[in-house]
Amino acid sequence: MSLGRLVPWLDWAEWRTVGDQLFAADDSERDLGVARVVAWRVRGRVPLAVDSTASLVETQLMDARGQGSDAALRAQFCMILVRLVNGVADSAQRGRVASSVASLAAAAGLPRGLVDLRHEAAHNELPSLAAARAGAGEALTWLRDFYWLRQADHLAAGRAQVLVLARSYLGLHLAAAVGAAARARGEDGEDQGGTGAAARAAALALGTRCGRAEEGRGEGGHGDSDQGPAGPSPRPYSAAEGRKARRAALADLKSAVLRTCAADLVEPVWSAAAALPAGDAALGALR
């Protein structure tokens, strides 16, 4: 099983903090972001997008503070941009037949101006300092949109998915606990009242399906409908179906969260538990 890609930051909260610092309006905040990336470089495995962002911001700060000659700043800007375009193109290369840097960069969404600037810097004279500054600004905009914001959206979507899976898994356990309590008291978990109904409610309220659908009654009846007295009667809770659903939910959780990142489950699991319909009673039933 793949353990994912090693990264130098402690967690994604640290990564978000550094991203906010690098794109902050305050230069002191940008200095902090650059310093953190410098520390990450010591650990190694800094992604190209992160390293390029920090390098461009650092050079912009040097330029604004009058540190370094025009020739040095011009060379430094161009070197960073050439490395960025080449790195993006290399990562987009597929198959044995090599494609041009221009076509690969275009496929990756890089602005044409950056590709042309890279070509001039690599094969002709270095672009002017003004052109290099403009290229740096364009590159930072692209990095923000195509890496930092996109990765943040991906993380938010992943956390939302884990929250849904955790809530479903806990809800299934709650339904099983209610059903077990019913059986322990000699009640029939397949009836339509008492704790059997509570087990169904716990499962259905969480969007889970751990009962057997009954045949729809009458013309236009639907076996999957649980609404209204005119529809079919609610499906009875099935312990066997519940176990099957719990195994499926656990498998989904394992595929969504690496074993090495199991600690990241703590917050979404507690958030999911707090959102259970039964509230504190649900937590008590799960202990």
Q: What's the pLDDT tens digit per position in 146-202?
A: 999 999 999 888 888 888 887 777 777 777 777 677 667 665 544 445 555 555 555
Domain boundaries, position 262: 157-215+228-286
In a domain, 143, yes or no: no
In a domain, 139, yes or no: no
User: How far is Cα 107 from Cα 93, in angstroms, rounded to an integer?
Assistant: 10
Say what the pLDDT of residue 69 is. 96
* Per-residue pLDDT tens digits for 53-93: 999 999 999 999 999 999 999 999 999 999 999 999 988 77
Q: Judge residue 77's burial from the number of C-beta atoms within 10 Å of its C-beta, 0-12 exposed, 13-18 middle, 19 or more buried.
A: buried
Last residue of a domain, one of 127, 146, 177: 127
Last residue of a domain, one of 75, 107, 127: 127
User: How far is Cα 160 from Cα 152, in angstroms, rounded to an integer?
Assistant: 12
120 and 181 belong to one structural domain: no
* Per-residue pLDDT tens digits for 35-52: 999 999 999 999 999 999
* Per-residue pLDDT tens digits for 260-277: 566 667 776 777 666 665
User: How far is Cα 99 from Cα 62, in angstroms, rounded to an integer?
Assistant: 36
User: How far is Cα 24 from Cα 32, in angstroms, rounded to an integer?
Assistant: 10
**Residues forming a β-bridge with 237:** 211
In a domain, 5, yes or no: no
247 and 180 belong to one structural domain: yes
Do residues 158 and 263 lie in contact, with contact meaning Cβ atoms separated by under 8 Å? no
Determine the straight-line distance between the first and last CA of the chain, rounded to whole angstroms: 32
Instruction: Give the pTM.
Output: 0.71
Say what the pLDDT of residue 68 is. 93
Domain count, the chain: 2
Beta-carbon contacts of 206 under 8 Å, excluding residues fewer than 6 positions away, are 167, 168, 171, 172, 276, 277
Residues in the chain: 287
Structure token digits, residue 117: 């600037």
109 and 185 belong to one structural domain: no
86 and 179 belong to one structural domain: no
67 and 106 belong to one structural domain: yes
Q: Which of 3-17, 112-126, 229-243 has the highest mean pLDDT?
A: 112-126
In a domain, 274, yes or no: yes
